[in-house]
Structure 1
Amino acid sequence: MVIEQDVELSDGRTLRTYDSGGGAQGASGGGYGDGLTVVWHHGSPQTGVPLEPLLTAAAERGIRLVSYGRPSYGGSSPLPGRNVASAAADVERIADALGVGSFATMGASGGGPHALACAALLPDRVTGVVCLAGIAPYTRDFDWYEGMVSPGGLRSAADGREARELYAATDEFDPASFTSADFAALAGTWPSLGDDAMKAGQAGPDGLIDDDVAFATAWGFDLAEVAAPVLLVQGGRDRVVPPSHAASMLAGLPRAELWVRPDDGHVSVLDTCPAAMDWLGARR
C-alpha cells in the first residue's frame, strides 16, 4: 500500500509525496525495517506517482520506496527560480517528515540530476545514487545537444524562462525521439510511465519548463561534490539524452561506474531498474 501525503515546507509550499513503507520509521534508522530506503526522482514531465514496475521491484527486495512531485508537478507547489540543487532541501524535508535517516537516490532522465543534487548536498544521508539516462550539466567541452532528436526545449531554456515559455506554446512531442525498443517498453513493462507522463502534460507545462531551465543553466553544485558511489545507466541508442552525457558525467564524478546498454533507448533502459536497486542495496 502506498501512502500519499502533502509535506509542508517552512516557506509555505507543499510537496506531494508517496511512501511504500506504510508510514514514518525511526529517524535514526536507514530505511524501512532493516532494509533500504530509495528516494525516486521522476522524469520530465511526470507527476511523481510511483510507477508500478518500481513498486514491484522495490517490494521484492524489501526496499522502502519514496517518491514525490517536484515543484509544479503532481500537486506540489511551484518554486519560482528553482535550480537543480533546490531538490536537496526539498528531499531533506521529506525525509525528515517520513522519519527517514539515510537513504539512496535514484532518478531517470530529468530525475537523474536531482538525484545527484541530493548526494552532493546531503552527503551524510545519501548512501548511493543511480542515474538512468540522465542529462549532464551544460558544458562546451562537447556538443551538448548533438544526438538529441528534439533539443528545442533545452535550447530555448538556455535563454531563460520566458523563452522556454514561448517555445512551450507550440512544442509537440516528436515520436522519432523514441526507438522501437522504447515503444515496446511503453507497451509492455512501462505503460504506467506513458500514462503518467500524459497526465502530467495535461496539467500544464510549468514543471517541465522549470526543469529545462534548471538543466540548461547552472545547477548549483559540481559533480565533484558527489562523494557517494554513483551508477550511471545509459542506452546506446538514446535519442533524448545521448550517450555523450553519460560519458561526461562519468569523467566528472569521483566514484562512478557506467553500465552501457547498447540496444536500449531512453525508456527501455529502465528495465535495468531491478538490477540497479540491487546495486544500491550492496552499498548501503
Structure 2
Amino acid sequence: MRRRVRTADGRRLMVERLGDPHGSPVFLLHGTPGSRLGPAPRGLVLYQRGMQLIAYDRPGYGGSDRLPGRSVADVVHDVTAIADALGLERFAVVGRSGGAPHALACAALLPERVTRTATLVTLAPRDADGLDWFEGMTAHNVREYEAATVDPDGVAARLTPRAEAIRRNPVQLLDDLRRELTLPDRLVVKDAGVRSMLLRNYQEALRTSPYGWIDDALAFCSPWGFDPADIPGEVLLWHGEQDVFSPPGHSRWLAERIPGATAVLEPAAAHFDALHALPRVLTWLLSAG
C-alpha cells in the first residue's frame, strides 16, 4: 500500500507499506542514494512471518519533499509522523547503509516507541573519537566525504550533475560502483534480479531531485544530533568484514559505545551482502522476549 503522509511542518512523505497490515511493524530505512523501492523481502514472505514493513523516501528522495539542512536526528520527526498516521504505537527499526545512522537516531530519541533496532553496514559519526573514519574506505567515498566535511557548499555542485546522469541512466551508478566492488559484492550485484531492483531503486531515488543524496552526505559529515552511547535499547550491528564503502571499523566503534549492542561481523561478506542478511535481521528484530 502506498500513501503520502504529512509531517507537522507540512512536508509530504511518500510511504510504502509492505506485507501484513496487521503484522508486527518494522520501519525499513533505505540506503544512500535510495528510496522506498530498495531491497526488501517479498510480500508473501512478510505475510508468512506476520510482519509489515514500512519504507519511505527520506526528504529530497523520490516522492518526498526536501528538508534543507536536515540532520540525522531529524528522521525521528518523519518516523513519528508516519507511525502516527498508520496508528502504530510501537515498532522496530532497521536501516541499511545510509539508513543505518537514521535507525540509530530513532533508537536514541524514540526509546518509548522503538522495541529493537538493527543496522546493516552502518557509518559511525564523522567526529567519532578514536576512529580512523576513512580506514579501509574506497577512494571515491573518501573524496566525497572529505569534500562534504571541508566544503559543504560545494557538495551540490559536485553531486547534481552526477545525479542527473544517473537519473537518465541508472546503470551508470552500478558501472561506477563496479570499479571498486570487492569480489563478494560483484557476486551479489551480478544477479539479474538484484540488478533490476537496484536500478529501480536508484532511478526512483533521483527521479525528482538530487537533494536527498546531497542532504544525506552533508548530514553524515555534520553533528548527528544524538550520542550513540545514550541508546537505551537492544541494537544489532551487522557488517561484512570486506566492506569498502562503509568499513567494518565503524560498527566496531559503535559496538564499544552502545550499551545494548551486539555486533555481527561476517568475514566473507561485503557491503551488498547486507541484502541477503536482511531477512535474518528482521527475524531478530521481532524475536524480543
Question: Do the two structures share a fold, i.e. TM-score over 0.5?
Answer: yes
| Aligned equivalents of 1:115, 1:182: Cα separation in 2 | 23
| Aligned equivalents of 1:143, 1:53: Cα separation in 2 | 34
Aligned residues with identical type, % of pairs = 36
| Aligned equivalents of 1:273, 1:55: Cα separation in 2 | 14
Q: 1:202 to 1:182 in 2, by over 3 A?
A: farther
SS at match of 2:150: coil
Say whether the 8 Å CA contact 2:19–2:44 is kept in structure 1: no
Residue 4 of structure 1 aligns to which amino acid in structure 2?
A: R
Q: Map of 1:6-25 to 2, 5 A cutoff?
A: 6-20=4-18
Whether 2:52 is the aligned partner of 1:64: answer yes
Residue 104 of structure 1 aligns to which amino acid in structure 2?
A: A
Q: Map of 1:1-284 to 2, 5 A cutoff?
A: 3-20=1-18, 32=22, 35-49=23-37, 51-53=39-41, 55=43, 57-138=45-126, 139-149=128-138, 150=140, 151-169=142-160, 173-188=176-191, 190-191=194-195, 192-201=197-206, 203-283=208-288
| Aligned equivalents of 1:62, 1:218: Cα separation in 2 | 37
Give deviations 1:211-246, integer Å, cap 9, x for gaps: 011111100001022111000000011010011101
Q: 1:137 to 1:122 in 2, by over 3 A?
A: same
Q: 1:39 to 1:54 in 2, by over 3 A?
A: farther
Say whether the 8 Å CA contact 2:63–2:208 is kept in structure 1: no
- How far the C-alpha of 1:183 sits from its partner, in A, is 2.5
TM-score when scaled to structure 2? 0.87
Q: Which runs of 5+ in 2 are unaligned?
A: 163-172
Residue 145 of structure 1 aligns to which amino acid in structure 2?
A: F
Say whether the 8 Å CA contact 1:160–1:213 is kept in structure 2: no
SS at match of 1:72: coil
Q: Which runs of 5+ in 1 are unaligned?
A: 24-31
Q: 1:72 to 1:242 in 2, by over 3 A?
A: same
RMSD: 2.0
- How far the C-alpha of 1:185 sits from its partner, in A, is 1.6
| Aligned equivalents of 2:42, 2:132: Cα separation in 1 | 33
- Bigger Cα displacement from structure 2, 126-135 vs 155-164: 155-164
Task: Point out the structure with the larger helix share.
Answer: 2
| Aligned equivalents of 2:86, 2:152: Cα separation in 1 | 33
- Bigger Cα displacement from structure 2, 153-162 vs 100-109: 153-162
| Aligned equivalents of 2:137, 2:238: Cα separation in 1 | 17
SS at match of 2:13: strand
SS at match of 1:137: coil
Give deviations 1:160-199, integer Å, cap 9, x for gaps: 5312123325657342332222222223363313431244
Give deviations 1:98-131, integer Å, cap 9, x for gaps: 1111000001000000111111111010011110
| Aligned equivalents of 2:134, 2:42: Cα separation in 1 | 29
